[in-house]
Homo-oligomer: A and B are copies of this chain.
Amino acid sequence: MRFYTEYLIFQTSQSREYINITPQVRLVLEKSGIQEGMILVSAMHITAGVWVNDAEEGLLADIDAWLEKLAPFRRDYHHHRTGEINGDAHLKSLLVHHEVVVPVTAGKLDFGPWQEVYYAEFDGRRPKRVIIKAMGE
């Protein structure tokens, strides 16, 4: 069995940003030398997410508006008694999830034609980490 782990660091200029990290995941797979297995891509923070979906700017704008509607910024979250003001970012993270597992077959990400891995930042402007861990043979 082979295991190969890398960490990405993002410091976005916006509070919310959506970054296509498929090239980085592909690079980790190459370095791992794995032909068959799985890759876990997981945010290491609780105000960020990871998803697989389309690389289309209009859709990203739709997703952003939709997340703000379902998990809106509000001043009065209980969480804010701690001094934080990012309660909405926690809820957005729960909604989209913080991780994906990508299948690897014949040395490739075994994706359909439109699948891309995104890092979703919900509380940016500071360093945030993502782990990419490949496991297989």
- Chain A residues within 8 Å of B, Cβ to Cβ: 1, 3, 5, 36-38, 40, 42-46, 51-54, 56-59, 61-63, 66, 70-71, 77-82, 87, 90-91, 93-101, 103, 105, 110-112, 114-115, 129, 131, 133, 135-137
9 closest residue pairs by CB, A with B: A44-B112, A58-B78, A3-B36, A59-B79, A58-B79, A61-B78, A103-B133, A46-B53, A62-B77
The 8 Å CB contact of A90, one of B40, B62, B95, B110, is: B62
Residues of chain B within 8 A (CB-CB) of A59 are 77-79, 87, 90
Which of A43, A82, A135 has most chain B Cβ within 10 Å? A135
Contact status B54-A46, CB under 8 Å = yes
Contact status B38-A135, CB under 8 Å = yes
Assembly of this chain: how many copies? 3
Residues of chain B within 8 A (CB-CB) of A5 are 103, 105, 110
Q: Interface majority SS on A: helix, strand, loop or mixed?
A: mixed
**Alpha-carbon distance between A137 and B137 when the two chains are bound, in angstroms:** 13
Contact of A58 with B81 at beta-carbon distance under 8 Å, contacts A114-B46, A133-B110 already known: yes
Q: Whole-angstrom distance from the CB of A29 to the nearest CB of chain B?
A: 15
